[in-house]
Amino acid sequence: MATKGSHTYTSSQLESYFERISLPARHRDLSYEVGRNNNAQRDLEFLTALQKHQLAAVPFENLSIHYSPTHTIDLDPGFLYAKIVTRRRGGYCMENNCFFGTVLRSLGFSLYSAGARVSEAAAGSHDSSGYLGWSHMVNIVLATNGNKYLVDVGFGGGGPIQPLPLKANEVSPGIPPHQVRLAYENIEGNSDPNQRLWIFQFRKNSEDAWKSNYCFTGLEFLPQDYEIMSFWTSQSRKAWFTHKIAVVMMVLEKEEVVGVITLVGGEVKRRYKEDEVGLKTCSTEDERIIALKEHFSIDLSEDDRRGIAGLVTELPHG
């Protein structure tokens, strides 16, 4: 029996996915060469294109916790395909990274997933240098030349926009003018000073100090680990996902990520390179439903819309 971690999509499903993310034909041709001829550079180019187009087409969003009859998250790869490709929705970290990992495995990439801890600073405690518990998921892709890459399509506007080699302190571009890197260090709270984790960091420009968004381990996590993690993040009243609505999607121009559009609560904003502007303030449910369709191409069903009734995230009607 296949496990969730070994599930793959069919060739026709992958073609529909390419259409979903508007992947150019020149990149689709590379899908037949993954892992063949030991051409790690071509594989990396294809992986980079997939990640950027995924980020610009499939939003990070936690709407299923709020706009849903069940208020639950399903990490089954088949369900995720129907949600993301057929229904043209997105998902939060474990949904998007589980789905994207299944896409990569189906294409022939070798990979595994790992758990991550979000920094307290990234979660809103700006004066803290500690980390929360396991609540994030990343994919680690193993190239044919032996290199490993962090691939993350589930951290919203603060995550990487391309594969990052698992090499300490190698600087890569983020959403302009941001820069990102991986550090390999001990973290606050560890009893053993010799323990090391990979830490994803960013800075606003070359003169700014590095800030940590999350850390992750090299240990492979299994599907049942994410079931436990996702249950807490989607159901606990201590998890911000349950009391705040967030939708994030990257802006792609000429194959480069240049900005991000966000909806948090009722505020819609767009950051293009260094400039951020407010696009809309939603004061009613009808206005937010329209904003989701207009800015993120998310069209909620009537059943989904009714699901928010009585929740703390519900806006006034009228």
**Catalytic option among 66, 152, 215, 304:** 152
First-to-last alpha carbon distance for the chain, in angstroms, is 51
Distance, in Å, from the CA atom of 6 to the CA atom of 78, rounded to the nearest integer, reads 12
Distance, in Å, from the CA atom of 150 to the CA atom of 236, rounded to the nearest integer, reads 28
Q: Which of 96, 136, 318 is nearest to 230 (CA)?
A: 136
Distance, in Å, from the CA atom of 261 to the CA atom of 278, rounded to the nearest integer, reads 10
Q: Which long-range contacts (CB under 8 A, 24 or more apart) does 236-241 make?
A: 239/135, 240/123, 240/124, 241/62, 241/65, 241/92
Contact by Cβ (8 Å): 120, 131: yes
**Catalytic option among 27, 136, 215, 304:** 136
Cross-strand partners of 112: 140
Q: Reply yes or no: is the peptide bond before residue 177 cis, omega within 30 of 0.
A: yes
- Among the residues of the chain, which ranges form H helices? 11-20, 25-28, 40-57, 77-81, 93-107, 223-235, 285-296, 302-306
Is-catalytic flag, 152? yes
Residue with tokens 């499939």: 58
**Catalytic option among 7, 53, 66, 93:** 93
Is-catalytic flag, 93? yes
Distance, in Å, from the CA atom of 311 to the CA atom of 112, rounded to the nearest integer, reads 36
Is-catalytic flag, 66? no
| Catalytic residue IDs | 93, 136, 152
